[in-house]
């Protein structure tokens, strides 16, 4: 249970980076639709991309 709560807090902290990721790739509506479809997996991928390729 603690792990899930910690992951949620981390996700909340990364929201800003996710927004940067979406803006960087330009096509906001598509990314949002994909995110709504696939939820966590896409969120984690986006966070991983931001962490691996910072601006």
For residue range 6-23, list pLDDT tens digits in order: 777 777 666 666 666 666
Q: Return the structure tokens found at 50.
A: 């931001």
Taking a C-beta distance cutoff of 8 angstroms, is the pair 43, 15 a contact?
no
Q: Return the structure tokens found at 47.
A: 């966070």
The overall average pLDDT reported for the chain is 65
- If you average pLDDT over residues 14-38, what whole number do you get? 61
3-state SS class at 35: helix
Q: How many residues does the chain have?
A: 55
Q: Say if residue 30's pLDDT is above 60.
A: no
Q: Say if residue 42's pLDDT is above 60.
A: yes
Q: Say if residue 4's pLDDT is above 70.
A: yes
Contacts with 11 (C-beta within 8 Å, 6 or more apart), sequence order: 43, 47
């Amino acid at each position: 249970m603690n792990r899930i709560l910690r992951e949620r807090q981390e996700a909340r902290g990364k929201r800003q980076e996710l927004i940067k990721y979406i803006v960087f790739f330009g096509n906001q509506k598509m990314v949002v639709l994909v995110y709504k479809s696939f939820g966590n997996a896409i969120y984690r991928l986006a966070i991983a991309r931001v962490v691996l390729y910072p601006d």
